[in-house]
């Protein structure tokens, strides 16, 4: 009966968040509405990413479909990306631009946001007054999108701040340290569609059940192992690394204490590398190097959300100088070096940087 009860007692992401929000009597469900719009965006991207380009999308059930963007009934034989909603004039939209459009529209229509920062948009979006809400959302709609054509997992990464002044919001509302985030998460588009979320009370993973169109709780209360056997870095940048990073990676490969070397796993798609680190343990690093003194990854919508999740899962995140979540960004697209993952692995990096500072 227990198995049967479980099968019919569907813990969807919406129900899960409503349960969590019920602990805060003052919450008026705004966060749940905001999150459901982020989830909608992820479901759309999941569909778009998983439809192979150029393949006929013959939907066996109907020969035609209603196209919302032109309000026409059109033949279903049109390839997904041939459909008007994907085309802007003759220029077919790239998936990352399309994904950005979907998230921006979903977030604005939620009526719960007042500022949006996207990797795709140079400037922040200030929502029109009639649609403003209490939240600011920072996001990368399709991180790692250069990997689409070879089938590598990619993802959406987001962070959520509560703003102080939603009437006349300013950019200061998002130039806040990551520790001020209310929530953060990512959605990974891989063999399955996995949504990982923290609202500040631990980390939970949900998997999209395509037959239901719902994200179901599959990874409750994720905790990262205290120490791992994997390091994840682009070794191709080794000649440009600073001393502590070079020393740490050397130790991973030639441990002094007689332990076995760590394995190297590097996918080159942050969501995939971080998801593996979260579940298996180990360390993911994108350090500074001579070419990029601030590293490559963006503070607001890559470093902060992943660091937030790591801390919530019992791990930690370090920039080479400080706790990542303490960083105060000065620009919405600022970059930072990042070392994140298992608590003890990151401690080793911190010790090497501390020793360097003492020199």
Q: In this complex, which beta carbon is closest to ligand P6P, that of residue 114 or of residue 267? A: 267
* H-run or E-run covering 293: none
Q: How far is the CB of 300 from ligand P6P (least distance, A)?
A: 13
What are the φ/ψ torsions at residue 98 (nearest 5 degrees)? Answer: -60, -45
Contacts of 222 (CB under 8 A, 6+ apart): 196, 202, 203, 204, 205, 278, 279, 313
Q: How far is the CB of 180 from ligand P6P (least distance, A)?
A: 24
Nearer to ligand P6P, 122 or 168 (CB): 122
Least CB distance from residue 122 to ligand P6P, whole Å?
17
Contacts of 164 (CB under 8 A, 6+ apart): 173
Which residue in 27, 65, 23, 42 sits closest to 186, CA to CA? 42
CB atoms inside a 10 Å sphere around CB 254: 8
Q: Which is nearer to ligand P6P, 110 or 307 (CB)?
A: 307
Burial of 324 (0-12, 13-18, 19+ CB in 10 A): buried
- Cβ proximity to ligand P6P: between 96 and 345 the closer is 96
Residue 48 C-beta: closest distance to ligand P6P, Å: 18
For ligand P6P, the closer CB: 108 or 196 = 196
Q: Which is nearer to ligand P6P, 16 or 318 (CB)?
A: 318
Q: How far is the CB of 63 from ligand P6P (least distance, A)?
A: 39
Q: What is the CA radius of gyration of the chain?
A: 21
Specify the residue for token string 């503070």. 299
In angstroms, rounded to a whole number, what is the distance separating the alpha carbons of residues 225 and 34? 31
Which of residues 107 and 142 has its CB atom nearest to ligand P6P in the complex? Answer: 142
Q: Which residues would be at the binding site for ligand P6P (CB under 6 A)?
A: 143-144, 146, 234, 268-270, 273, 296
Nearer to ligand P6P, 101 or 273 (CB): 273
* Alpha carbon distance 192, 133 (integer Å): 32
At 34, which helix (H) or strand (E)? Answer: helix 30-50
Work out how close the CB of 225 gets to ligand P6P at its nearest, in angstroms, rounded to a whole number.
Answer: 21
Cβ of residue 144: shortest distance to ligand P6P, in angstroms?
A: 4
What is the smallest separation between the CB atom of 270 and ligand P6P, expressed in angstroms? 3
- CA angle, corner 214, sides to 75 and 139, nearest 5? 90
Please count the other Cβ atoms lying within 10 Å of the Cβ belonging to residue 104. 21
């Amino acid at each position: 009966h227990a198995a049967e009860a479980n099968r019919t007692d569907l813990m969807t992401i919406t129900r899960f968040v409503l349960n969590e929000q019920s602990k805060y009597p003052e919450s008026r469900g705004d966060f749940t509405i905001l999150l459901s719009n982020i989830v909608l965006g992820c479901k759309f991207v999941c569909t778009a990413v998983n439809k192979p380009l150029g393949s006929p999308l013959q939907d066996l059930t109907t020969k035609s479909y209603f196209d919302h963007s032109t309000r026409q009934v059109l033949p279903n034989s049109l390839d997904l990306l041939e459909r008007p909603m994907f085309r802007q004039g003759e220029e077919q939209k790239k998936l990352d631009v399309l994904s950005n459009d979907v998230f921006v529209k979903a977030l604005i229509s939620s009526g719960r946001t007042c500022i949006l920062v996207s990797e795709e948009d140079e400037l922040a979006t200030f929502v029109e007054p009639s649609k403003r809400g209490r939240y600011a959302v920072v996001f990368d709609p399709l991180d790692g999108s250069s990997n689409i054509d070879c089938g590598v997992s990619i993802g959406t990464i987001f962070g959520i701040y509560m703003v102080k002044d939603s009437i006349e919001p300013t950019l200061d509302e998002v130039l806040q340290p990551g520790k001020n985030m209310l929530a953060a998460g990512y959605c990974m588009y891989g063999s399955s569609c996995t949504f990982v979320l923290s609202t500040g009370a631990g980390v939970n993973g949900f998997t999209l059940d395509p037959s239901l169109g719902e994200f179901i709780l599959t990874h409750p209360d994720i905790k990262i192992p205290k120490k791992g056997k994997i390091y994840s870095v682009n070794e191709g940048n080794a000649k440009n690394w600073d001393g502590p990073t070079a020393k740490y990676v050397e130790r991973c490969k030639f441990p002094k204490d007689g332990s076995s070397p760590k394995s190297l796993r590097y996918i080159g798609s942050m969501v995939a590398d971080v998801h593996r680190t979260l579940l298996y343990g180990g360390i993911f690093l994108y350090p500074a190097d001579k070419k990029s003194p601030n590293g490559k990854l963006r503070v607001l919508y890559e470093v902060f959300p992943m660091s937030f999740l790591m801390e919530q899962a019992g791990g930690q995140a370090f920039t080479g100088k400080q706790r990542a979540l303490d960083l105060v960004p000065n620009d919405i697209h600022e970059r930072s070096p990042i070392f994140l993952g298992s608590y003890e692995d990151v401690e080793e990096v911190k010790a090497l940087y501390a020793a360097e500072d003492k020199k």
